[in-house]
Amino acid sequence: MSKPSYDVVIAGAGIVGTACAAELSESGLRVAVVEPKMVGGGATAAGMGHLAVMDDSPDQFALTRYSQLLWKALVPELPDDAEYLPCGSLWIAADDFEMAEVHRKFAYYRDRNVPVEVLDSQSLAEAEPNLRPGMAGALLMSDDSVVYSPNAARYLAEKAKRYGADFRLHQSLTSFTKNYAHLSNGTILNTEWILLANGTAAANLVPGLQMQPRKGHLLITDRYPGFVNHQLIELGYLKSAHSVSTDSVAFNVQPRRTGQLLIGSSRQYGTNNPAVESAMLSKMLARAVEYMPNIGTLQSIRTWTGFRAATPDKLPLIGPHPDFDHLYLATGHEGLGISTSLATAKILADQLLHRSPSIAFAPYLPARVMQHA
Ligand SMILES: Cc1cc2nc3c(=O)[nH]c(=O)nc-3n(C[C@H](O)[C@H](O)[C@H](O)COP(=O)(O)OP(=O)(O)OC[C@H]3O[C@@H](n4cnc5c(N)ncnc54)[C@H](O)[C@@H]3O)c2cc1C
């Protein structure tokens, strides 16, 4: 049989698909990317673009920190319109109970060489004067940053093209068999591997994949430079992000380089309806006002929703499908896909090219969430 035209056909040109396209094509593979809409127009356009390190589990920490260091290395080549902002994050403790968590996190990160600092009540008030007075303190994570993810995805797509990747927009992957990718316009691409980086839609192509959409709302304001200086997240966010059944909101505000503020965040299961829900939005904004009383006086420009691809254990799916050696997955990133896109791409390249892995990839293998017939 003749050599396939492509080594890998990637479904999806969000931040994950474009990161994979850039990494795999730079590594010498022949790559095609299939995308029905536009580059970076899915969950990637709906997200906040917070490049964060998290420690819900050792495996989440390993992936987020590795990816954060990859983002830092990428910064010098990012275009200005990627709006990279090294603002750091502040995890806000409202009371002494949450302050104990600040100290626990501080020790965890310090022991793993992540730059981190504890702010007491007064230092926090000086760092963020628009917070309500009397907060207990905060954890400052100075390596965290912010990026405008649709433009970062566009940059990664351009980079992939420079290394020879072939982008096929306005077409979707409809089905596949060993060595063949079938597209919606009838084209059949001959390929060694298929990589599903199509976010929540991957579940439509892989029976038994345990992943569900988790809706989120965001609001962007007019320009108020200096109103907030860091990405601000309440420590209670962890409770809401961990909940696997109930709807939840948390105080989460981000400064943009434009001077605008992004206000989040909400999490909902059990709906595919993208409509902005005024009840959920009101709840989210009420939480923001609780933490920042003057935020309610700012002018809103736009609100929108998006869907996170949520797995049962909150870790993404990166690697081969257990039953089909030609099929790979790069999805299930929930609320951290922008943060972890670059690490995802490295891990896939390590797997496909049999390189020695930069971090252990066993915790992210898809087999753990597959229901077998
Ligand atoms: C409200 C909200 C806030 C968030 N905030 C953050 C944050 O601050 N930091 C962070 O790291 N993450 C955040 N996230 C999560 C992040 O946005 C996602 O994890 C990430 O964008 C996922 O990227 P992706 O490339 O996997 O998916 P997507 O961006 O959804 O891309 C998938 C692409 O696949 C295409 N596609 C679908 N079906 C097919 C098919 N059959 N064939 C080919 N292509 C197909 C789609 O058109 C789409 O373009 C947030 C998410 C939401 C909803």
> Residue 236: which pLDDT band, with cuts at 50, 70 and 90?
confident
Residue type (1 letter), 301:
I
If you measure from the C-alpha of residue 99 to the centroid of ligand 1, how many angstroms do you get, rounded to a whole number? 33
* pLDDT tens column, 267-286: 999 999 999 999 999 999 99
Residues 293, 299, 301, CA angle at the centre, nearest 5°? 130
Q: State both tokens at 66.
A: 């590795």
d(CA 355, CA 261): 41
d(CA 34, CA 264): 31
88, 218, 262 from 255: Cα distances, Å: 10, 13, 7
Q: Which of 33, 273, 333 to mutate to test the pocket of ligand 1 (most atoms within 8 A of CB)?
A: 333
> Which atom in ligand 1 lies closest to the alpha carbon of residue 254?
8
If you measure from the C-alpha of residue 4 to the centroid of ligand 1, how many angstroms do you get, rounded to a whole number? 29
* pLDDT tens column, 208-220: 899 999 999 999 9
Report residues whose beta carbon is within 6 angstroms of any ligand 1 atom: 11-17, 34-37, 41-44, 46-50, 172-173, 197-199, 201, 216, 218, 306-308, 331, 333, 335-339
If you measure from the C-alpha of residue 361 to the centroid of ligand 1, how many angstroms do you get, rounded to a whole number? 21
Whether pLDDT at 1 is above 50: no
If you measure from the C-alpha of residue 104 to the centroid of ligand 1, how many angstroms do you get, rounded to a whole number? 31
288 CB-near residues (< 8 Å, 6+ apart): 251, 253, 263, 295, 296
Alpha helices in the chain (DSSP H): 15-26, 43-46, 58-74, 96-110, 121-127, 149-162, 202-205, 237-242, 278-291, 337-352
If you measure from the C-alpha of residue 318 to the centroid of ligand 1, how many angstroms do you get, rounded to a whole number? 15
> Residue 40: which pLDDT band, with cuts at 50, 70 and 90?
very high
- pLDDT, averaged across the chain: 95
If you measure from the C-alpha of residue 199 to the centroid of ligand 1, how many angstroms do you get, rounded to a whole number? 5
d(CA 17, CA 199): 9
| Ligand 1 atom 44: residue of nearest CA | 12
DSSP 1: -
Which pLDDT value is given to residue 112? 98
If you measure from the C-alpha of residue 194 to the centroid of ligand 1, how many angstroms do you get, rounded to a whole number? 18
> Which atom in ligand 1 lies closest to the alpha carbon of residue 44?
21
Q: State both tokens at 19.
A: 């990161």
